[in-house]
Chains A and B, each alone.
Chain A
């Protein structure tokens, strides 16, 4: 891996960010329909129930939270105009803007946030509120109210944490913390997810499942009416069809289908509309550390790591559009360690480690099964890995399952080796490292390789409670170094997003958490059409 490569991608990201810079307000045109696209039918538009970026892309336009993340992924004011954090970093006091209205006309009050956060504790992503004092009891269904939420008055909300948590504001910018009107949520019950009402810059109009979702401008948005009149989200599962819709001029932006990236780079028109920017995500092949043969055999895990040519995967299968990984934290994530070497492709070293692991030339090592969820990309990567390991004498069998069956098997620790990717929920190393490697998160909460190290856990426990800053990041770096040394995963590549965007589209933010085609973190209120 060339260290300069990550820098090139970072530079591309900066360029992409500069491209997205908005011109003066008087140059921005009003009106028009933005033709966006989703890769699947959103399961729900209820913030408390949504677990995917497809739903998030739509509901983020309909709802607002106390704070939001700007294009540099820093928390900035939204419905809360300001906030104060106590010296012990446990109490957050938010002052709400006056005159913020739900799309049904009612004014938002602090009590709405209390209702919303307690509703989120009973939803599908309770970890968004679990840092609040007493949230655990609500999540377990033992009590109804979160003790750490206090409505001081209609404009003031006080949130108390169980213990300090530096990225807490980022959690408040997450979908599940977006304010919902109690009267609508209770009137509609489960159908609130099909007829959402929020405070966002766009209001819900219609949804024909597997066809399109339509939103229109909410003129009374607290920031003023958005530039666009409407957004029509077409729902197109097939990436080639999406691409053809874009080429026919029917979509404002799209992702580049696999196998079309180099062609798009060479195309005189498409190459000018193409943006590649880094994502906060890591693709990995994870060893199950409680299963033979990888259990208690670090040398074998390291041998497999050195035997796999990540450059080849990045260049051949992903057409050079991603960065081979050298660790867990991707570039752009606070705490990313550019000096981490990882496991470069080195067949000799792999052979030596394999012998030290007790399997010279793979002798005595039974075939290993690599599981993945059904997808053409995962299959191709699996086949390349299989071929590379065969050269070392390691036999690999590939097994694919659909998502429901696959995740159950992974949860149960029933694989020897499995594929998973991780995209950050919020831009903080805790969301990568603690979630994916802390012993308390073994199994469904995130630690699918069942990694467990008291030393790493201790570092996480300390870092998670520390105030933001270099000392905290140093702890995460130290933990990551220990993890990489233990080789619980094959760190394959760091994600990028490949976006095609029409020149008439202005103000679409390409942040490291928004991938094409959904661009779920991009606030559409900032977007306008120059035509």
Chain B
């Protein structure tokens, strides 16, 4: 287990370097100038030139990248061109909102998805199965933007049960609607995955053997079938969580949620390279750690994989 963790962490360094270089080059060579974009419609050439010098944007690309890397080695992600604040402060400010939303959406997706998938597998071929799988398909295919607006209209404006949008004081009431909207897609995916996986597992010989031993259907299902069917579900949920931890721009926009997704979209639009670089590095880290956690979770679900 420790060897696995160590191996992954060693691989992380070249991955981060490669990603940083790629993002830097792509952002730097794309059309548009952060200074000009920040000036609005009317920009004075002398001022633009002066600010470009102040930001070091008049230097060659390799010099800019080397300077950025040098700072990174001192744990400094630089300052945002636009907000004039340290990038680490900007990213750290957004992470809690994104983390809470991702966790809540994943929890909803896991609970509802597993329940729906299991029930559909148990009632395989019946009306319940059809109904649940249609629901799952709807969850996957409904645009989050539209679903978010509908949730707002029904549960916030008409019924008044939850706030319309915003982070508020951080209470759970603000979290419900955005996490439902965001979790819908993942609920559908997990439900379908759980159903397919369970249907495959319950046809296996060891399940038949368990039944032949005279074990109750509940024990056969929970101890032998479900546990083994969980592996692909863990993979999907783990990758889904990592996916959500890098922000969900559409959901965050509809619900005015101050997360990383909105921050990154704005930064890309403004060509705020230090913020884009900081965010992408964080995202890469999240993905690698997320995948590592999925691998570790395999071990918990299936003891054969612990070595």
Measured CA separation A444–B51 after assembly (Å): 15
- Given the known A-B contacts A41-B266, A194-B83, A210-B263, are A241 and B46 also in contact in the complex, defined by CB atoms under 8 Å? no
Instruction: Please indicate the chain A residues that have their CB under 8 angstroms from the CB of B263 in the complex.
Output: 209-210
- Given the known A-B contacts A190-B84, A411-B36, are A240 and B149 also in contact in the complex, defined by CB atoms under 8 Å? yes
Inter-chain contact A408/B160, CB cutoff 8 Å? no
Distance between A190 CB and nearest chain B CB, rounded to angstroms? 4
Q: Contact check: which of B164, B256, B262, B270 meets A404 at CB < 8 Å?
A: B270
Distance between B303 CB and nearest chain A CB, rounded to angstroms? 45
Inter-chain contact B266/A51, CB cutoff 8 Å? no
Instruction: Please indicate the chain A residues that have their CB under 8 angstroms from the CB of B156 in the complex.
Output: 244, 248
Inter-chain contact A210/B258, CB cutoff 8 Å? yes
Inter-chain contact A408/B93, CB cutoff 8 Å? no
Inter-chain contact A191/B152, CB cutoff 8 Å? no
Q: B85 in the interface, Cβ–Cβ < 8 Å?
A: yes
Distance between B160 CB and nearest chain A CB, rounded to angstroms? 7
Instruction: Please indicate the chain A residues that have their CB under 8 angstroms from the CB of B79 in the complex.
Output: 190
Distance between B53 CB and nearest chain A CB, rounded to angstroms? 9
Select from chain B the residue with minimum beta-carbon distance to A247: B157
Inter-chain contact B164/A241, CB cutoff 8 Å? yes
Inter-chain contact A238/B84, CB cutoff 8 Å? no
Q: A245 in the interface, Cβ–Cβ < 8 Å?
A: yes
Q: B34 in the interface, Cβ–Cβ < 8 Å?
A: yes
Select from chain B the residue with minimum beta-carbon distance to A236: B256
Inter-chain contact B32/A43, CB cutoff 8 Å? no
Measured CA separation A126–B195 after assembly (Å): 64
Instruction: Please indicate the chain B residues that have their CB under 8 angstroms from the CB of A40 in the complex.
Output: 266
Inter-chain contact A52/B40, CB cutoff 8 Å? yes
Measured CA separation A405–B44 after assembly (Å): 17
Instruction: Please indicate the chain B residues that have their CB under 8 angstroms from the CB of A141 in the complex.
Output: 46, 50
Q: Contact check: which of B34, B47, B256, B258 meets A241 at CB < 8 Å?
A: B256
Q: B166 in the interface, Cβ–Cβ < 8 Å?
A: yes
Q: B52 in the interface, Cβ–Cβ < 8 Å?
A: no
Measured CA separation A518–B73 after assembly (Å): 42
Total interface residues on A, CB under 8 Å, equals: 53
Instruction: Please indicate the chain A residues that have their CB under 8 angstroms from the CB of B167 in the complex.
Output: 208, 211
Distance between A437 CB and nearest chain B CB, rounded to angstroms? 13
Inter-chain contact A444/B31, CB cutoff 8 Å? no
Inter-chain contact B83/A250, CB cutoff 8 Å? no
Q: Contact check: which of A122, A123, A238, A402 meets B32 at CB < 8 Å?
A: A402
From 39 to 56 in chain A, residues with beta carbon under 8 angstroms from any chain B beta carbon are 40-41, 43-44, 49, 51-52
Instruction: Please indicate the chain A residues that have their CB under 8 angstroms from the CB of B226 in the complex.
Output: none
Q: Contact check: which of B32, B37, B157, B166 meets A211 at CB < 8 Å?
A: B166
Q: B291 in the interface, Cβ–Cβ < 8 Å?
A: no
- Given the known A-B contacts A420-B41, A444-B45, A445-B42, are A191 and B84 also in contact in the complex, defined by CB atoms under 8 Å? yes
Q: Digit string of A178-214 for contact with B (CB within 8 Å is 1, else 0)? A: 0000000000001101100000000000001111100
Q: Contact check: which of B42, B165, B254, B269 meets A127 at CB < 8 Å?
A: B42
Instruction: Please indicate the chain B residues that have their CB under 8 angstroms from the CB of A237 in the complex.
Output: 253, 256, 262
Measured CA separation A444–B38 after assembly (Å): 12
Q: B43 in the interface, Cβ–Cβ < 8 Å?
A: yes
Measured CA separation A408–B271 after assembly (Å): 12
Instruction: Please indicate the chain A residues that have their CB under 8 angstroms from the CB of B243 in the complex.
Output: none
Inter-chain contact A241/B42, CB cutoff 8 Å? no
Inter-chain contact B32/A44, CB cutoff 8 Å? no
Total interface residues on B, CB under 8 Å, equals: 53
Q: B153 in the interface, Cβ–Cβ < 8 Å?
A: yes
Q: Contact check: which of A127, A212, A411, A443 meets B166 at CB < 8 Å?
A: A212
Which of B39, B167, B252 gathers most chain A CB within 10 Å? B39
Q: Contact check: which of A41, A43, A241, A443 meets B45 at CB < 8 Å?
A: A443
Measured CA separation A139–B4 after assembly (Å): 59
From 248 to 277 in chain B, residues with beta carbon under 8 angstroms from any chain A beta carbon are 252-256, 258-259, 262-263, 266, 269-271
Instruction: Please indicate the chain A residues that have their CB under 8 angstroms from the CB of B97 in the complex.
Output: 211
Instruction: Please indicate the chain A residues that have their CB under 8 angstroms from the CB of B51 in the complex.
Output: 124
Instruction: Please indicate the chain A residues that have their CB under 8 angstroms from the CB of B307 in the complex.
Output: none
Q: A401 in the interface, Cβ–Cβ < 8 Å?
A: yes
Instruction: Please indicate the chain B residues that have their CB under 8 angstroms from the CB of A401 in the complex.
Output: 31
Inter-chain contact B41/A408, CB cutoff 8 Å? no
Measured CA separation A40–B40 after assembly (Å): 14
Measured CA separation A17–B79 after assembly (Å): 44
Distance between B27 CB and nearest chain A CB, rounded to angstroms? 10
Inter-chain contact B85/A241, CB cutoff 8 Å? no
Q: Contact check: which of B82, B153, B252 meets A43 at CB < 8 Å?
A: B82
Select from chain B the residue with minimum beta-carbon distance to A123: B47
Instruction: Please indicate the chain A residues that have their CB under 8 angstroms from the CB of B90 in the complex.
Output: 209
Measured CA separation A139–B47 after assembly (Å): 7
From 152 to 181 in chain B, residues with beta carbon under 8 angstroms from any chain A beta carbon are 152-153, 156-157, 160, 163-167
From 422 to 448 in chain A, residues with beta carbon under 8 angstroms from any chain B beta carbon are 422, 435, 443-446
Inter-chain contact B93/A248, CB cutoff 8 Å? no
Inter-chain contact A238/B256, CB cutoff 8 Å? yes
Measured CA separation A446–B160 after assembly (Å): 47
Measured CA separation A247–B164 after assembly (Å): 10
- Given the known A-B contacts A41-B266, A411-B43, are A238 and B258 also in contact in the complex, defined by CB atoms under 8 Å? no
Inter-chain contact A404/B254, CB cutoff 8 Å? no
Inter-chain contact A248/B164, CB cutoff 8 Å? yes
Selected A-B contacts with CB under 8 Å, 25 pairs: A43-B38, A43-B82, A122-B50, A124-B39, A190-B85, A193-B83, A193-B84, A194-B85, A209-B90, A209-B258, A211-B97, A211-B258, A235-B258, A236-B256, A238-B253, A238-B254, A241-B255, A241-B256, A244-B156, A248-B160, A404-B34, A407-B41, A411-B43, A444-B45, A445-B42
Q: Name B residues whose Cβ lies closer than 8 Å to a Cβ of A.
A: 30-34, 36-48, 50-51, 79, 82-85, 90, 93-94, 97, 149, 152-153, 156-157, 160, 163-167, 252-256, 258-259, 262-263, 266, 269-271
Knowing that A234-B165, A238-B254 are A-B contacts, what are 20 other residue pairs whose CB atoms are under 8 Å apart, sorted by A's residue number?
A: A43-B83, A44-B82, A51-B40, A139-B44, A193-B84, A210-B259, A211-B166, A211-B256, A237-B253, A238-B256, A240-B149, A241-B253, A244-B156, A402-B32, A403-B32, A403-B37, A408-B32, A422-B41, A435-B42, A444-B43
Q: Which 9 A-B pairs have the closest CB atoms?
A: A404-B32, A190-B84, A404-B37, A405-B31, A210-B258, A211-B258, A444-B43, A51-B40, A405-B32
